[in-house]
Amino acid sequence: MISSNDFRNGVTLELDGQVYQVLEFQHVKPGKGSPFVRTKLKNLLTGGVVDRTFNAGEKIPLARVEKREMQYLYSMDDDYTFMDTETFDQIALRSSDIGEGVKFLKENTTCYVVMYRGASIGVDLPNSVTLEVTETDPGFKGDTATGGTKPATLETGAVVKVPLFVEVGEKIVVDTRTGQYLGRS
């Protein structure tokens, strides 16, 4: 059990037979009335996001989730195969289980597969990945002064906005949570 006063981003809760992860929380202490905690929770089984309010100090059961280090091997159709780095067992996940991060998955990437009661419910990718630019418009001399951006297609098929000076063949670092360009590799 965890008190609503101890909520932090990333904490997993078990509510109404479902598993939720705290995305945002705010402790509110109104002038009149008792304090409460306003939260935004993500259902890890369905992917839906809900807003929920708890009384201050309310006890909520913690969900026991396990994160296993796995290596992404390959994809076939809509199935993505991961291998446990300790036991070498392989599991297949659908792109809907992985979410938006699927466009940044490169073969041999190490990530964490989130397990709940023996079933995989999601994937935690590294915060940033290094990928090669395979297609982008050429930059012209003097374009860097404006601070503009252009679309670039990466080796995984993802399209991100990059500065005008980035060329085809360069390796860049991309934030997997936001899809933003972070810098050259």
Cα–Cα distances in angstroms (integers) from residue 26 to residues 44, 54, 129, 159, in the given order: 21, 10, 31, 34
Helix intervals (H) in 21-155: 95-98
Q: b/e map of 21-53 (b: 16 or more CB within 10 Å)?
A: bbeebeeeeeeeeeebbebbbbbbeeeeeeeee
DSSP β-ladder status, 171-175 and 90-94: unpaired
Class for the domain spanning 65-124: mainly beta
Classify domain 2-60 at the CATH topology level.
SH3 type barrels. (2.30.30)
Residues forming CATH 2.40.50.140 domain(s) in the chain: 65-124, 128-184
Residue 61 and residue 1 in contact, taking contact as beta carbons nearer than 8 Å: yes
Q: What is the mean pLDDT of each run of 10 residues along the chain (185 residues)?
A: 88 89 90 91 85 92 90 90 92 82 88 86 87 86 67 92 89 90 89
The pLDDT of residue 145: 56
Three-state SS for 101? helix
Residues forming CATH 2.30.30.30 domain(s) in the chain: 2-60
Class for the domain spanning 128-184: mainly beta
pTM strictly above 0.85: no
